[in-house]
Amino acid sequence: MTILVGVLVVVAIALVLVTGPLKPGGGSSASSSAAVPATAGTDAPSKPAAANSAAPKPASGDYRGPVPILMYHVIKEPTASTPMAELWTPAETFKATIELLKKDGYNGVTLDQVWQAWNGGPGLPDKPLVISFDDGYLSHTVTARPILQAAGWPGVLNLEGKNIGKGGLTTTQVEGLIAAGWEIDSHTLTHPDLTASDDASLKTELVDSRKLLQEKFNVPANFFCYPAGKNDARVRAAVKAAGYKGATTVEPGVASKSDNPYELPRIRVNGTDSAATVAGRVRSGAGVSGGY
C-alpha cells in the first residue's frame, strides 16, 4: 500500500509539472495565460498595462522637420442614432490604420518631443507622427491604448477637466495612459467656445485646466487644444500667457517649426476614412476642417 501511494504522488506531481496547477472551472494556468483583450467600447474599466507590454521608446534621431498630427475622437463603432457619427472611428479601422502607418515606416511621438526637436532638444526618428485624441473617452484607454502599445507608440490625449471622474475617465485610467507613455494636455475644463468667453472665464478655462492636470497627474500639460478649434488673437494670447508652449487647431495641414506654435494644424480623421485614406492624408496634409 505504501508503495502504491508513493507511485500516485509521483504521478500527480508529474501531471502538475506538465499541465500547470489546476484552476477553478477546470482550466489550467498554462491554457489561460494568454491575455484576453478588453471588448472595444464597453463600460468595463481598463486594467493597468502588463509589466512586459511594449512601451514607447524615447524619441531619438536627427529629424527636425514637419510632423503630421492626426486628430481622433471616439474609437468605437457608432450606432444608427449616434450624433456626429463621423467622429466615431471603429476599433478595427483604427487598428488597421496604425498597422499600415507603422508598416509604411512612421514612428509615433508626442507633441512635447516634437517641440523639443524644433527647439534645440533631442531629434526625432524618421517619419514621426503624432496620434492625438480629443476630450477623454473610455475608448481611449480600453481600445486605443492597447493598439498603440502594440505598435510601441504613445498617444496624446487632450483631456477636458469635466471628463475626469464620474461619467468620464477615472484617475486610474488616465494614470494608465501616462504609464503607457501617453502625453496628457489640456482641452479646457468645460469645452466652451473660448472666443465667446469673457476674459475671466477664458483665464479660468486655460489656467485651471492646466493646474488640474499638473496637480492630479504630475504632468507638465505644456500644450493646449482649442475646443472645436475656435480661437482668435485674444484667445491665442491668453493661451500663451497661461504658460502653454503651443496649441493645436482643427485646420488641416502638416505642422512645422515655421508655423505659429499656437496655431498648429492637425489632420482630422473621420470614422468612414479607411486606413489607406488616412495614410494618404498623412503624406499630403490634406483633410477637412472642423472638430468638436
Asked if residue 256 lies in contact with residue 66, where contact means CB atoms within 8 angstroms, the answer is yes
Q: Which DSSP string corresponds to 156-191?
A: EEEE-GGGBSTTSB-HHHHHHHHHTT-EEEE--SS-
Residue 37 inside a domain? The answer is no
Note the pTM of the prediction, 2 decimals: 0.81
Residue 238 inside a domain? The answer is yes
Residue 181 inside a domain? The answer is yes
Predicted pLDDT at 58: 73
pLDDT single digits (tens) 21-68: 322 323 333 322 222 223 333 333 333 333 334 455 677 899 999 999
Is pLDDT above 60 for 128? yes
Amino acid identity of 210?
R
Compute, in degrees rounded to 10, the torsion defined by CA atoms 25, 29, 33, 36: 10
Domain CATH code at residue 118: 3.20.20.370
Is pLDDT above 80 for 104? yes
Residue 290 inside a domain? The answer is no
Residue 52 inside a domain? The answer is no
Q: Max Cα separation, the chain?
A: 92
Residue 26 inside a domain? The answer is no
Pairing of strands 183-186, 156-159: parallel
Residue 219 inside a domain? The answer is yes
What total of structural domains would you count in the chain? 1
Domain interval for residue 79: 57-284
Residue 123 inside a domain? The answer is yes
Predicted pLDDT at 56: 57
